[in-house]
Amino acid sequence: MKQWDAIRYWVKRHLWVTFLVATIVLISVIHFYVALFVPPTREKAWKEVKVTEGMSFKAIAAALQKEGIIRYRGYFEIIGRLQGISRKVRTGYYGLGSHMSTWQVLEALRKGRIIEYEVVIPEGYNLYQIGWTLTGTPLISSDPDDFIDVATNKKIARDLGIDSDRLEGYLFPDTYYLPKGITVTDIARRMVQRYKDVFTDDLRRRAKELNLTEHQVITLASIVEKEAKVSSERKLIAAVYHNRLKQGMKLQADPTAVYGLRAWITKVSAQDLKRKTPYNTYLHKGLPPGPIANPGRGAILATLYPENVDYLFFVAQGDGSHYFSKDYGEHGKAIGRYRTNKQKARQAAKKKNSSGVRGQGSGVRSQETTTRR
């Protein structure tokens, strides 16, 4: 009791000191809370802050304070160092604003939430199509040649470890999240690295078993990718080309005749098949000098592990699938069926239009020239 009496006596005697200390503590707590969790403003105004390679955390804090994104640089630096953020801030552009609290800004830096753009490269796209796809993003200018020039640069290809004069075939189709400010060369580098992740040593060993180089595998896989509209047919189509190569027959693959002509080809004409290019497998035996597109993993595996069949021909059936034949006689009949069905579809569409109903077309891609002669 005496002890508590002594304490109460001291508090009464020094009440003003107790009040002052409590006030200081309360103000400090409120100040710290406001500095860390209360945004400078409520108005949403996004700003881009660039963190460059080698930029110190102190410089980052100064840039954020200058843009009005944080109030107290000192608190920001202290908390950032205590959390270890100052040692590993990801380079790039950050979308930040004064409506964010200091804690939220620190979290954005800690998690490396830089501005990125999603870019989807479908299987079978060639480098020209990829160039045009990238022009639809803020990553490069409106000129697809910015990418095409890089992808067809022999030195860049060799620097990236590709044994080819261009990157065609090695720009792996995938969904990429590319940061703002990335160079065109770095975009290509990412795609090539993704390809290298997919084409493993096991696949290289399989290529050797088939007496094919990696470049030959990717070249053939690119043709398979362009021809196969139905994924379940990839191995069959690959088998046809393997068989034709073994027998010394021309591949006669339509997509090779129009490679490099335009970015997008919807129909291959009889005239296209006569185009004199080193890629045209209607004119030249064997594989073309390089890939005509960028195959996905499915086409690569189908090329390395084709079906064990003796087909030599295939022709479109009008629904994306193909009819496969072992000899030219059977193939000729399949062509006849395709043309008959195509003619029926045209007549049906014409009849529908003449009845006053707006026609939508047959939905059949003309593949009259897609025959193995």
pLDDT (tens digit, 9 = 90+) per residue, 61-72? 999 999 999 998
Tens of pLDDT along 97-146? 999 999 999 999 999 999 999 999 999 999 999 999 999 999 998 899 99
Q: Which helix (H) or strand (E) holds 120?
A: strand 116-120
- Averaged over 333-345, what is the pLDDT? 80
pLDDT value for 23: 73
- Neighbour-count burial for 31-55, b at 16+ CB within 10 Å, e otherwise: eeeebbeebbeeeeeeeebebeeee
The whole-angstrom separation of Cα 19 and Cα 17 is 5
Q: What is the pLDDT of residue 317?
A: 85
Contact indicator for 238, 309 with CB cutoff of 8 Å: no
pLDDT band with cut points at 50, 70 and 90 for residue 13: low
Report pLDDT for 14: 62
The pLDDT of residue 11: 62
pLDDT at 12 exceeding the cut of 70: no
* pLDDT > 90? residue 300: yes
348 pLDDT exceeds 50? yes
If you average pLDDT over residues 247-266, what whole number do you get?
87
263 band by pLDDT with thresholds 50, 70 and 90: low
pLDDT digits (tens, 9 = 90+) for 151-196: 999 999 999 999 999 999 999 999 999 999 999 999 999 999 999 9
pLDDT > 50? residue 325: yes
| Burial environment of residue 13 by CB neighbours within 10 A (0 to 12, 13 to 18, 19 or more) | exposed
CA distance from start to end of the chain? 111
State the average pLDDT for the chain: 87
Name the more confident of 60 and 141: 60
Of the pLDDT bands very low, low, confident and very high (cuts 50, 70, 90), residue 368 is: very low
Q: Which residue carries 């930029």 as its tokens?
A: 55
Check: CB of residue 130 under 8 Å from CB of residue 167. no
247 vs 240: CA distance, rounded Å: 11
pLDDT of residue 86: 87
Residue 86 or residue 262, greater confidence: 86
Task: Give the pLDDT mean for 218-240.
Answer: 97
Judged against a pLDDT cut of 80, whether residue 288 lies above it is answered with yes
Residue 258 has pLDDT above 60, yes or no: yes
CA angle 170/263/216 to nearest 5° reads 30
Q: Tell me, what's the pLDDT at 16?
A: 64
Enumerate residues 6+ apart whose C-beta is below 8 A from 51: 60, 89, 90, 91, 92, 93, 94, 109, 114
* 36 or 142, greater pLDDT: 142
Which pLDDT does position 357 carry in this prediction? 43
* Residue 366 or 40, more confident: 40
Domains in the chain, please, with CATH? 46-110 (3.30.1490.480), 116-198 (no CATH), 229-341 (no CATH)
